[in-house]
Structure 1
Amino acid sequence: MTTSDQEQRVPKDASGGCYIGIDLFKYEGGRRTYSVVLLCEGKVVSKYDDVGLEKVIRLCWEWEVSKLAIDNIAELAESKLELGRVVSLLPEKTSIYQINLSHGREKDFREMLRTMGIPTAQLTPSKTAYYLALLASMGVGEEVVKKEARTKIIVRKNRNLSSGGMSSNRYKRKVRTAILQIVNSIKEALDSSGFDYELLYRKAGGGLDGATFTVFAPRESLENIVKPKTGTSVSVEIRPEYKVKLLYEEKVKEAKPLIVGIDPGMTYGIAILDIDGNVIYIGSWQRMGRLDAVELIEKYGKPIVVATDVYPVPIGVKKIASQFGAELYVPDRVLTVEEKRNIIEKALEKGEIVDSDSHMRDAYAAAYMAYKAFSKKLTEVNKYLEKTGLDIPAENVKKRIIGGSSLADAVEEELKAYLSSVNKSIKIVVSPDIRKDEKYRRETDNVDLIRKENMILAKRIESLEEEIRRKERELELYKKGVLQLNKEDYYARELHRLKEMIAEAERTLKEKENELESISSEVQKLSSLLQRISRGEIVAVPIVPSLTKSNLSILPNVNGRIVFIENPDSYQREAVEDIKNMRPLSVIFPGPISNKGLASLLEGGGIPVLSLSDYVYERASGFLFVNSKVEEDAVKKKMELEKKLADKEKDKILSML
C-alpha cells in the first residue's frame, strides 16, 4: 500500500463541506483497492493510492463527508448484498454520488472532462479521484443509492444449556419461558405502535430457544419502545441494518412468470418453478428475512403463485404473495413427511435437484402441489394453441388462467392486448381526394415547415444552453486551480508512506498474535480433554452433520465406537445401509428419540440410538467429548436390542413351524 499525501487537519464545520472521490486502482485476488482524494473547502486534505475501502469508510466518519463520488457503482461493489454492507458502515449523512449521471443517463466520464477543457490523455486513477471529488463539491452528478433502514431485535439465551441433570432441565425451561415472555412483550409493544415487522423464532419445550424481529423502521424510531438488555440468562440485542436500493437501474424486460414454494422459519426454504413445472432454483437460508426472500425471487422473475404447506399461513408468506400480486396456494390437506420425501426423491432421480434438506423439501413439495393443481389447465393451453395455430405467447395465457380466467377468456384477453398494441402503431393515411385539395396541401406544407423550424431552433437552444453550462464549469474549474495540480512534497509523501507501512506491519503482527493465542487456547483445551479420556472420564465421539454417503466417506473407522448425527431429519437411504456395515456401537441424536424415521431404520439394523440431552458433553475440533457413562448405556441398550431382535426372529421361525 502506498500513499501520496499526508492528512491535513482542517475544521470539520467548514462551510464548503468535505467530499471524497475514489477510482479503482487495481483488482487482484478478489480484492479491490482505490485511489482516494479527500477535499474540504475546495482544498486537497489527503490523497492515497492502492488502499482498501476500510480507509475510505474511516475518512468518511472522521471528516463528516457529505458525498462519496464515483464514476461507476460496480467499482464499489459487485452485488446489492455487498453494496448493502458498505452502505451500512458509512455515516448516515454520507451519500453516494455517480458524477457521470445526468437525468438517469450515464455519460462517458472522460468525455465529460474533455468538454470542460481538461486533458484526459494521461488520466490516472489519482487524478480521476480528484476530479470526482471536485465535481461532487460543485453539485455535478446524481445520488445512486437509497438506504432503507431496518432494525434487528435479537432475543437469545446467554449461556450454554447443554449440561445434563434435572436441575439443568429446570433451568432450560425457566430460560425458554423467560425468552417467550420477553418476545411477547416486544411483539405487543411493536403492534401497539403500528410497526411493520417480521418475527422468526425457534420453539423448544416450555417456550422459545430464541427469536429475531426484523422491524422495517430505523433504529432511532424504537428508542422508547424496545430497549437492549443483558441479563444473567437472557439478552436482547438491537442493531440497525440497511437495505440498499439502486436509484439508477436499467429497466428489465417483463418478468418471467413463476410458481414459488416457501417454507418459512429460522431457516427459510425456497423453491422456484417455471409454469411448466421445471425447477429454476431451490435452496435454504439461515435467518432470511421477508425482503431478502423477495429480492432472491425477483432475480428469477415474478411469481404468479406463492405456495406453502404451513397452516395457518404465516403473515410473512401472505405479504410476499401480496407484494407480487400473486395467488396464494395452500394444499387442501397436510402432506405427510413420507409424501414430501417421495416428491423430492422423484426430482432427485430426474436430476432436477442435486441435494436437499427438510426446508428445501417442504418448499419444493408446496410448489410442486401448486403446479399439479393447475397443470391440467396449463396443458390444455398448449393443446389449444397447437390445434388452432394461434401465434400468441402461451406463458401470458397460462398466467391469466392461474389468475382465475377460463381458457376462452384468457385467449380473448391476450388477443385483445395484442390488437391494442398493433392499433397504437397504425398510421392514419390521408385519402387521395383530400390531398387534391390545394388549400389543404398548402396548409399542411406550412405546418410541416413550422414543425421542422421549431425542431431546429429547439436543438440550437439546447446546444447553446449546454455550451453556457460548460463554460461556467470551465470557469469554476480554473478558479479552483483544477488544471494546475500543485506538485507534492516528495519527502513528506515518502515519510507518510513509511508510517503507513509500519502501521500496517503492526496491525498484521497483532492479528498473528491473536491467532496464535487462539490456537494456544485450543491446544490447552484439547490437552485437558485428552487427559480426561486417558482417565476414562469421557469418550471422543466423531460428528456427522447428516447421514449422507459423502459425509460417511470421510468418517474415520467407527467399528465399535459411538457416532453423533447432528441432523437426523436429513438422510439418504443408501447411507443407512453403509453405516450398518460400519458396525458402530451406537448412534447419538441431538434431541428426544422417536420410534419413526431414521431411528427406526437404525435400531432395525441392530444399532441403538441414544439422546445427547441425557449426557454432559463438550464440543471441540469436530468431536463431542461425552461423559463415559454413554458407553455403558450404549452397551446395555445394544444387548437389549440384540435380544429383542433375536426374540423377534425366534418368534418368526416358531410361527413358520
Structure 2
Amino acid sequence: MSIFGVDIASGSPSGKRPPSYSLFILDEDSSAGFHMISRHKLIRMIRERQPEMVAMDNVHELAADRRELIGLLRRMPPSTKVVQVTSKERSESLVKLARYHGIAFDRTDPLQEAEACARLAAKGVGAALSAFEERTWIKVSRRRSLGRGGWSQNRYTRKIHGAVMGLARDVEKQLRESGLSYTSRAVEGMGGYTRAEFVVEAPREKVHISQGYSSDAQVLVQSIERAELQYRPLQQRRSYIIVGFDPGTTTGIAALSLSGELVDLISSRALSSSEVIEWIAARGRPL
C-alpha cells in the first residue's frame, strides 16, 4: 500500500504566489520525502504512482475553490482516495490528533506534517473526500466543426455524423459486454448522430472505457459530480478492543484486538484524562 502525505510549504492556491508542497511517500517497506514541489508535479506524481490515498490536513489546500478542486480530482486516478485526516465535525488540530496516535512531529516543518498525515491515514484516521456519485457520464460527439457550408457540405456532415454514430455504437457494445447498467440518449442528425450520451450506474474505476478520439468524433468519460462534497470515514465501524492502562507518572496505554493482537501502544507524560479517553475511543470500543 502506498500513501502520499501532503502539506502546503509556501504560497497559496488563492494567493499571488502559486503553492508549493511537501510530499512524504509512505510505502510498505520504504519511505521518501520531497520538498517544495509544484502542484503540477504533485498531480503528475499521483498519476504516475497511483497511491491508495493522498492524505492532507485540509483538502482545500489543493485548490482555491470547489471548481478548481473538482478539476484536480478529475485528473487523479479514480482509485486514489483524497483523505482529510482532521475531522470535519470536530475542530481537532493536526498536532492534537497526531499526539492521540503516538505520532510526534515538528509543526514548523511541512515535510514532517506531510509525514504525520500519511501515518495517520495508514492508521485509518480521517475521512475520504467523495466528490463524485457512483455513476459515470459518457459523451460521444463530433470533433470537428461542420463549417459554413458549400457544395460538399451535406456529404461532409453525413461523414461526421456517421463517425459519431459508429463510435457511440462501439461504446454501447462495450457497456453491454461488461454487463453494466446504463441509460442512453442520442440526438439524430443528417447521416447519423450529432451526439450521444450514456449514464452508467457504476463508478468511473469500473467503467473500462477510455477517453479518446478519431479524426471526426471523440469520447469524453467523467464521473458525475455530487451536488455537495461528502466525507466518508476510513473506519466505518469500531471493533471491540481490550485496553491495558498504567496511570503512573508516565501514562501507558495498550490496545489489543479480541484475538490478542496489538492494535496500538502509547506512553506519554502529557496525556490528560480526556485525551486518554479520546485515544482509546479512536482505536475501538473497549470491553
When the two structures are superposed, what TM-score results if normalisation uses the length of structure 2? 0.62
| In 1, Cα distance between equivalents of 2:101 and 2:211 | 54
Map of 1:248 onto structure 2: 231
Asked whether the 8 Å contact 1:24–1:34 carries over to 2, the reply is yes
Structure 2 residue 219 is matched with structure 1 residue 237: yes
| In 2, Cα distance between equivalents of 1:72 and 1:220 | 25
Instruction: Please list the CA deviations of residues 608-642 of structure 1 after superposition, one character each: whole Å capped at 9, or x if unmatched.
Output: xxxxxxxxxxxxxxxxxxxxxxxxxxxxxxxxxxx
Alignment of 1:395-474 (within 5 A): 468=253, 472-474=264-266
| In 1, Cα distance between equivalents of 2:77 and 2:211 | 23
Instruction: Please list the CA deviations of residues 549-586 of structure 1 after superposition, one character each: whole Å capped at 9, or x if unmatched.
Output: xxxxxxxxxxxxxxxxxxxxxxxxxxxxxxxxxxxxxx
Map of 1:76 onto structure 2: 62
Specify which of 20, 39, 43 is matched with residue 4 of structure 2: 20
Give the AA of the match of 2:154.
R
The Cα RMSD (Å) is 4.4
Asked whether the 8 Å contact 2:5–2:55 carries over to 1, the reply is yes
Alignment of 1:426-575 (within 5 A): 468=253, 472-474=264-266
Give the AA of the match of 1:195.
Y
Aligned-partner SS, 1:84: helix
Aligned-partner SS, 1:101: coil
| In 2, Cα distance between equivalents of 1:94 and 1:185 | 30
Structure 2 residue 24 is matched with structure 1 residue 54: no
Q: 1:184 to 1:32 in 2, by over 3 A?
A: closer
Asked whether the 8 Å contact 2:136–2:223 carries over to 1, the reply is yes
Instruction: Please list the CA deviations of residues 25-57 of structure 1 after superposition, one character each: whole Å capped at 9, or x if unmatched.
Output: 221426322111112226432x22222233223
Structure 2 residue 125 is matched with structure 1 residue 140: yes
Q: 1:37 to 1:240 in 2, by over 3 A?
A: same
Give the AA of the match of 1:248.
Y
Asked whether the 8 Å contact 2:167–2:217 carries over to 1, the reply is no
Give the AA of the match of 1:101.
S
| In 2, Cα distance between equivalents of 1:186 and 1:138 | 44
Q: 1:116 to 1:198 in 2, by over 3 A?
A: same
Asked whether the 8 Å contact 1:87–1:242 carries over to 2, the reply is no
How far residue 156 of structure 1 moved from its aligned partner, in angstroms, is: 0.8
Q: 1:174 to 1:474 in 2, by over 3 A?
A: same
Structure 2 residue 170 is matched with structure 1 residue 170: no
Q: How many residues align?
A: 236
How far residue 20 of structure 1 moved from its aligned partner, in angstroms, is: 1.1
Give the number of the structure whose residues are more often strand, by fraction: 2
Q: 1:118 to 1:18 in 2, by over 3 A?
A: closer
User: Which structure 2 residue ranges, 5 or more long, are not aligned?
Assistant: 233-242, 256-262, 268-287
Structure 2 residue 152 is matched with structure 1 residue 128: no
Structure 2 residue 31 is matched with structure 1 residue 44: yes
Give the number of the structure whose residues are more often helix, by fraction: 1
Identity of counterpart residues, as a percentage? 20
Give the AA of the match of 2:63.
A
Greater relative contact order structure (CA < 8 Å, 6+ sep): 2
Alignment of 1:195-274 (within 5 A): 195-197=182-184, 206=190, 210-216=194-200, 217-218=202-203, 230=214, 234-241=216-223, 243=225, 246-248=229-231
